[in-house]
Structure 1
């Protein structure tokens, strides 16, 4: 799997592919990204093609996505380890 060298300076990284801003203090308490989203004017959902396209259009140099392997050996792009908090 390709992992870029992020030790370079000046790179703009779109974490979670872009999408809504997250309150990390709340995330650390709840462990649930969906419950930690900040109100903003960003309408795209993280880890989607729309969010990635918006991030690239805004000048992101690196797109950070969380890729997980499912039990049936498929790859999915999803931030959390389980679906519990998003479904």
Structure 2
């Protein structure tokens, strides 16, 4: 989002020297979610079938990655907040 907003506002068409740093959160997220990606269809279907449950139930019942569920959502929210701040 940050690179997109910066491209729109400043009409930049080339990457800057340090823009590769924006791939770090993506790489960390992909590595952290490898267990979910390799989990069986039954696990993924169970999550979809319980999609009508509230958010708190989803956090307590389904494990998605290497780190704990509460830390996963904390890191994700923190990453979004940092990027939103810098986008503004």
TM superposition score normalised by structure 2: 0.25
Q: Which of the two has greater strand per residue?
A: 1
Q: Which of the two has greater helix per residue?
A: 2
TM superposition score normalised by structure 1: 0.25
Kindly name which structure, 1 or 2, has the bigger radius of gyration based on alpha carbons: 2
Taking CA–CA contacts closer than 8 Å with sequence separation of 6 or more, which of the two structures ends up with the larger relative contact order? 2
